[in-house]
Amino acid sequence: MTAPVQHQSSTPQRALPPVLELGVASLICTLAAGIIVAAQVPNSHTLWPAVVLLVIAAGLLVACGMLMIRIRPFAWRPFRQVWQWAMLAYIVIAGMLEYVFIKDKTPNNVLVMLTLLLVAFAVTVPTMLAFSVARFQDPAAHE
């Protein structure tokens, strides 16, 4: 029988603002709005519930950014490295989805809404990934 391994971090845990929680809430709003829009294609009667959810998602994403800017000290170099590569991947994903929407001749109002939702999705996920990595880095080692 072996004793459980105790993992100890070399970096002390510090209190950080709820960036990930707000990011997840933003992602939930974005996905819910996408489901609402997709459920109405091709007969889009009303898009206002999706618009409201998109505005909430954008507000939460802005709040994430504002909270991250206020963190002192923070490992910005690892954040940027992860964010850039994740953003590249999500731009490719969003671009492929946008191509499918255009190829399927999605109505203009729905296409605009889906495009805005893709932008929100493509910014939220890389931000959450990058924050998840940078929060465990030693800020002093990356200045």
124 occurs within a structural domain: yes
Task: Give residue-wise pLDDT tens across range 34-69.
Answer: 999 988 877 767 889 999 999 999 999 999 999 999
6 occurs within a structural domain: no
4 occurs within a structural domain: no
d(CA 135, CA 17): 11
Domains held by the chain: number: 1
Task: Give residue-wise pLDDT tens across range 81-139.
Answer: 999 999 999 999 999 999 999 998 888 888 899 999 999 999 999 999 999 998 888 87
- Domain extent at residue 108: 19-142
d(CA 117, CA 109): 13
Task: Give residue-wise pLDDT tens across range 16-28.
Answer: 889 999 999 999 9
